[in-house]
Amino acid sequence: MTGEAKLIVQGLSHHYPDEYTGESVHALDNIDLQIHENEFVAIVGPSGCGKTTFLNIIAGLLPYREGRALVDGTEIRGPGPDRGVVFQEHAILPWRTVKRNIGHGLEIRRVPKAEREKTVQEYIDLVGLSGFEDRYPHELSGGMKQRVAVARTLCADPVIMLMDEPFAAVDAQTRITLQDELNRVVMATRKTILFITHSVEEAAFLGDRCIVFSRRPGHIKTEVKIDIPREDRVWKDMVDNPKFTEARDNILRLVRSEVTNDVDS
Amino acid sequence: MTTITEFSVAIQRRFGRQRLRKFILGMIPFIVLIFVWHLNSIFVWLDPVEIPPIADVWGAIFWLQSDCPGVIAAIEGHGDCILTNHVSSSILRVILAMVVGVPLGIGFGILAGMNRVVSAYLEPIGVFMNSVSGIAWIPLAVVWFGVGWETTLFIMLNTIFWLLFFNTMMGVRAVPKVLIQGVQTLGGTRLDAILQVYLPGAMTSIITGLRMSMAFGWRALIAAEMIGGDSGLGFMIFVSSSEFKTEEVFLGIILISIIFLATDRWLLVPLEKWTIERWGLVWKPT
Ligand SMILES: Nc1ncnc2c1ncn2[C@@H]1O[C@H](COP(=O)(O)OP(=O)(O)OP(=O)(O)O)[C@@H](O)[C@H]1O
Ligand SMILES: [Mg+2]
């Protein structure tokens, strides 16, 4: 954790204008957040609290007016290759093979073919897709598609990787495998990651820190530190790791209180 | 017997059982049609001037080409090679109209699909132009360009362009936004978005547009050649029918269908296989 934070967010709020009623939807309220190099920050919060809104602003896909957001010291203005995004739905291109999807970022940067193929092969091996290089996405399972999406983002080598519920659409077993794999990948690549999820378990398993959002308008309610070394984070050992269960129950309580409040009001 | 069985097994291996079956089933209506046509020349239910015998239609090919000095001359467009000249003049017009109309239609279609301002300008006039069917322009085109290739080309272009424009625009609008965002967050420019996302993403619609422009374009061309042309299969049919040479009319109609079928089989179907079927964008018939 050396030097300046990779992501700095100060007093960020967001209102969606409503074209029909003229009233605006207050989605985010005064967010302050810093993410340092090699940190894995998970965000959880009740549905509709503004998590996707937050991520889209950081990704540059949604313009913001209130507050500041900087990546690597520069103000965010539109999307760019310094912020790689893994979307919830499959955002990989159906008309590109696995290989060409993963290398797309390098292709856009005009990296020479030989060098590109070498790098791509490394990431294909890393996410366990060897043998599927020349397949098209429709020939892959949902889990494999998300592996391609993760590898594609990694391969473009962003400053920070943004992930919006990337494993929400796969079945429970695959999700566990993908979480274990992501851990391995994070250890191998030492990426800085902002990870959004609605699964408390996932947040506690993956995050160095877990940010709990309040219900809408989303603001940061608390932050839970999960002080478990990465190499210990393997699902088969985690279930009876007291640090993990404590963090998980803690986060769950905080999120539940937000959801229950919602029902009461 | 065994050789026949072996032969049939070999054919089935080569083409695939399902495809062979489909092909044979598809041929049956044609065979029935040809058979009934042949019966007519035996029993003469209808006058040969109305329905000429198959042999006469076949003979018309040689009759029309009788003064042609040879294959080379036919390719070079020698004045006496009547049939091949009409065929090549129609085909050349189709190719010319496609070469100009397809890129223009796709180009403007992509722009209009991406950009609300462009579509605000072009969509209303597009609806207007499409509502006036292609052939309704023929009389006006004759006034503007006279009888000849300009008129036929204009009619075809006008048909092709708007069909491709609309289909491409619709296709581009249906491309999931997340695919564009994915490319943007990889550092892709607007040109990357167009070439890597919108164009392939709209391919299903574009191919539909190509099919429609082939179908409507051919029809418009034949009609334009009849009224405002001085060569081509449409012109040949028109002239022959006014001289009661029904066998030439039949020949022209059959040639039009064969050329149309050939372009579909050898251009559009391979394009479809090479793109949207390979990408899993359409359901693949087995
Ligand atoms: N384009 C939009 N226009 C108007 N309101 C929007 C828009 N997108 C989101 N909202 C509203 O802003 C709030 C936050 O939405 P957001 O998608 O960020 O929530 P979320 O935390 O990601 O929810 P989930 O966990 O269900 O994905 C919601 O109340 C939503 O209705
Ligand atoms: Mg969301």
The full set of domain ranges for chain B reads 2-45, 71-278
Of chain A, the percentage scoring pLDDT greater than 90 comes to 74
pLDDT, average across residues A128-134: 94
Share of chain B above pLDDT 70, in %: 98
Note whether A59 contacts B181, CB cutoff 8 Å: yes
Residue pair A7/A160 in contact by the 8 Å Cβ criterion: yes
Q: Is the pLDDT at B282 greater than 90, yes or no?
A: no
Banded pLDDT at A236 (limits 50, 70, 90): confident
> C-alpha angle with apex B149: B267 to B242, nearest 5 degrees?
95
Chain A residue whose CA is closest to B276? A95
Q: Reply yes or no on whether the pLDDT at A218 is more than 50.
A: yes
pLDDT at B222 over 80: yes
**pLDDT bracket for residue A3 (50, 70, 90):** low
Mean pLDDT over B259-281 rounds to 90
CB pairs under 8 A between A and B: 74
The residue of chain B with its CA nearest to that of A79 is B185
pLDDT at A264: 44
Q: With 70 as the cut, is the pLDDT of residue B1 above it?
A: no
Q: In this predicted structure, what is the pLDDT of residue B33?
A: 92
Is it the case that residue B14 has pLDDT exceeding 80?
no
The predicted-structure confidence for B171-207, as pLDDT tens digits, reads as follows 999 999 999 999 999 999 999 999 999 999 999 999 9
| Cα separation values, A60 from A54, A83, B169, B209, B223, Å | 10, 8, 26, 35, 54
Confidence of residue B77 (pLDDT cuts 50, 70, 90): confident
CB of B1 less than 8 A from some CB of A: no
**Token digits for B133?**
């069917």
Separation CA A137–CA B278 (nearest Å): 10
At A265 the pLDDT is 42
A51 lines ligand 1 (CB under 6 A): yes
- Nearest-CA residue for atom 14 of ligand 1: A50
Helices and strands counted in chain B (H then E): 15, 0
The reply to whether ligand 1 has any atom less than 6 angstroms from the CB of A214 is no
Highest average pLDDT, of A18-22, A159-163, A182-186, comes from A159-163
Closest CA to A233 of A248, A219, A223, A221: A248
Please give the average per-residue pLDDT across A52-78, as a whole number: 94
The region of weakest confidence among A139-148, A181-190, A240-249, B121-130 is: B121-130
Contact A84 B203 (CB under 8 A): no
Answer whether A134 touches B (CB < 8 Å): no
Q: How far is CA A23 from CA A50, A216, B129, in A?
A: 17, 15, 41
B200 part of contact set with chain A, CB < 8 Å: yes
User: Does pLDDT of A60 surpass 90?
Assistant: yes
List Cα–Cα distances, B74 to A3, B64, B92, B192, in angstroms: 79, 12, 14, 46
Average pLDDT over residues B155-179: 93
Mean pLDDT taken over chain A:
91
CB nearest to B200's CB, from A92, A95, A152: A95
Put simply, the answer to whether A84 touches B275 (Cβ < 8 Å) is: no
**pLDDT over 80 at B93, yes or no:** yes
State the amino acid at position B250 in one-letter form.
F
Q: Which ligand gives the minimal distance to the CA of A63? A: 1
What ligand has the least distance to the C-alpha of A43?
A: 1
What is the pLDDT averaged over residues A8-31? 90
- Per-residue model confidence (pLDDT) at position A110: 94
Q: Which of A80, A94, A152 sits opposite B187 (nearest CB)?
A: A80
- pLDDT of residue A227 exceeding 50: yes
Q: For the structural domain made of B71-278, what CATH number should be given?
A: 1.10.3720.10
What's the pTM?
0.87
Q: Which amino acid, B176?
A: P
Mean of the pLDDT values across residues B251-263? 91
As a whole number, mean pLDDT of residues A204-226 equals: 92
Average pLDDT over residues A199-212: 94
B185 and A85 within 8 Å at the Cβ level: the answer is yes
| Beta strands in B34-162, from DSSP E residues, in sequence order | none
For the stretch A134-181, pLDDT in tens is 999 999 999 999 999 999 999 999 999 999 999 988 888 999 999 999
Confidence category of residue A1, pLDDT binned at 50, 70, 90: very low
Helix (H, G, I), strand (E, B) or coil at A187: helix
H helical segments located in A127-195: 142-155, 172-189
Summarised one tens digit per residue, pLDDT across range B42-57 is 888 888 878 898 888 8
With a 6 Å cutoff on the Cβ, whether A198 touches ligand 1 is yes
Residue A260 pLDDT exceeds 80: no
Per DSSP, the three-state class of A216 is: coil
Q: Token match 């010319």: residue?
A: B96
Residue A210 pLDDT class (50, 70, 90 cuts) = very high
**Average pLDDT, integer, range A108-127:** 94
**pLDDT, tens digit, for every residue of B112-127?**
999 889 888 988 888 8
Q: Does A85 touch chain B (CB under 8 A)?
A: yes
> What SS3 class is residue A111?
coil
Q: How confident is the model at residue B284, as a pLDDT? A: 60
Mean pLDDT of B243-261: 91
**Cβ-defined contact of B279 to A95 (cutoff 8 Å):** yes
